[in-house]
Structure 1
Amino acid sequence: MTLKSPIEYGICTNWDDMEKLLHHTFYNELRIAPEEYGVLVAETPMNPKANREKIVQILFETFNTSAVALVPSSTLALMSTARSTGVVVEIGESNTRIVPIYKDYTMTEAVQCLDIGGRSITDYLMKILTEKGYAFTTTAERDIVRNIKETMCHVAVDFEAEMQADSGNNTKSYELPDGQ
């Protein structure tokens, strides 16, 4: 069985799978009757109009939600800081977006999108580990590498200072599911 996300680069590419994912989320994870709730959809700032219309259609017609609000995820991120103006850098699984916002308005003409994200970092870590003799080929093994990335790696606030302070003794151990 192959599992594949219905979302690629922040855009839904498989609506049948998205509908199944929503069904599972409402009924199995949240255990709610969606018709009793409104839904807030955090969307990518560059979401095509056709995709916006499709998600609203599914939520209203298939799940009978009482209300739907589409809000750019970058706007929600900035709102969480109690600010209405700023620049949000969103790093997702497949891309990174730099989104300028002025008084709660996304300046769409200035949004920058790079096709590099968490998956790129996981791929690079897999490459490094493969060069050291480890083999990660299945989806489950890829998840192990993703977990290593998320639990063992960090972003240096001041790279130069960390490199100067590095004593060369910063080894961390990670136990693989098979006990290695």
Structure 2
Amino acid sequence: MSFEKPVVVIDNGSYNIKAGFSCDNHPVAMFRTVVGRPSYLNGGYGREYYDVHIGDEAVAKIDELDLNQPIVNGRIVHWDNMERIWHYLFYKELKVAPEDRSMMLACSAVSSMDEKLKCCEIIFETLNIPALCIQSQAVLSLYGSGYSTGISVDLGYDTADVCPVYEGGLIRYAHMQTNYAGAQFANFFKESLAEKNYHDFGIRTPEILEGMKRYLYITQDISMSRKDYKRIYTLPSGEKIDIGYEAFMGAEMIFQPRVIMGPNVNVIALQEAIVTAAMKCDADLRSELYEAVVLCGGMSMIPGLSTRLATEVEEITHKPVNILMTSEAYAVAWLGGATFAGMPASKQMWVTKKQYKDYGAKIVKNKFM
């Protein structure tokens, strides 16, 4: 296996994809995980020549394109578009030949073995990558924070995963999902504003809702003055609206979903998901798991989240909890991939193109379980 050149590290995200080299301390490329095709085709692709737009370029031309997200709820659902994005990453963003670089791929905790096999098929047979390693984003987020044991709390666009990790291994049976992530924040904003007669912002509605999510915040004891409560958002038209209620209540649902949305809602409070995940593990591990609760994903950067989460978990467990949070939580899993790729001990967990050709699915299952 040749690692003469820095490994390409790719973190597949439902909303953003991050990519770069293992020698760097930050992704070189980061853009929306979307592929856009001309809307006038009406889905009839292949009958005539057309341009395909990827990432932020596609989002900028949303008026003219039909956008497709190849990753939904952490799973790859459109393989042709995923292949296009990987190809675009190598040739347009990173400007390296894929057959010249080994690749570290960070995937979701819910990725199945069939999905990993399909990734290997495309990466080895189409992109001609010489060596590949697939690791869970949860495991890599721990490495990116300097730990190999702890609990990864990944608050992403359409999934919120709580995954205990022990000595670099994912404890799959203890995996929990809260069912409340970035997409649900946007839905809450949309429904709440519709009640105020802000029914539709046009084709740019998703972009506007994403902008509003930046106003989310969490308080320590949910008591505050009306002055502090107000949040003003300026629409593209120039109109200013108060989204203070949405900014406060949307984030508060992370901790009190049943109080706000009703007792039958299919959402688990984040602190309950963390404690439940830890309780599913051996009793001897729990204190060690609580020593490194790593927040990652774009939605984990909501102001006040880490402080409030520590309080909520400690009230349940009556034990100290160490919540780890960085200003670049969106890139923690990628950084973990870069760290992992540079570890000499990790080399035994890679699959080479020759091994894949000789042993096929068997070697993939042995390495990437």
- Which TM-score applies when normalising by structure 1? 0.88
CA distance in structure 1 between the aligned counterparts of 2:124 and 2:76, rounded to whole angstroms? 17
Pick one of 130, 140, 147 that aligns with 2:211: 147
Point out the structure with max Rg over C-alpha.
2
Q: Structure 1 pair 7/123, CA: closer, same or farther in 2 (3 Å)? A: same
Name the residue aligned to 1:5.
69
**Match among 115, 119, 129 for residue 183 of structure 2:** 119
Find the counterpart in structure 1 of residue 161 from structure 2: 97
Contact 1:44 1:73 in 2 (8 A): yes
Moved more, 133-142 or 29-38: 133-142
SS of structure 1 residue aligned to 2:162: strand
Unaligned runs of 5+ in 2: 1-38, 40-65, 240-369
Name the SS of the counterpart of 1:83 in structure 2: coil
Q: 2:120 aligns with which of 29, 35, 56?
A: 56
TM-fit CA distance, 1:64: 1.3
Equivalent residue letter for 1:64: N
Identity across the alignment (%): 26
Q: Which runs of 5+ in 1 are unaligned?
A: none
Q: Which residue of 2 aligns with 1:72?
A: 136
Alignment partner of 1:169 out of 227, 247, 250: 227
1:34-53 aligned at under 5 Å gives the runs 34-53=98-117
TM-score (norm 2): 0.45
Q: Distance in 2 between matches of 1:127 and 1:62?
A: 43
Contact 1:101/1:107 (<8 A) preserved: yes
* Deviation digits for residues 89-143 of structure 1 (CA, Å, limit 9, x no counterpart): 1112112111011111111111112433110111001111111121336552111
**Closer, same or farther in 2 for the Cα pair 1:153/1:64, shift >3 Å?**
same
CA displacement, residues 38-70 of structure 1 (integer Å, 9 cap, x when unaligned): 221111123111110111111111111222110
* Higher relative contact order (CA closer than 8 Å, sequence separation 6+): 2
Secondary structure at the counterpart of residue 71 of structure 1: strand
Aligned AA (1:67): A
Conserved 8 A contact 1:26-1:32:
yes
Are the structure 2 counterparts of residues 146 and 107 from structure 1 closer, same or farther at C-alpha, using a change threshold of 3 Å? same
Match of residue 81 from structure 1: 145
Question: Paired residues, what number?
Answer: 174
AA matched with 1:153:
L
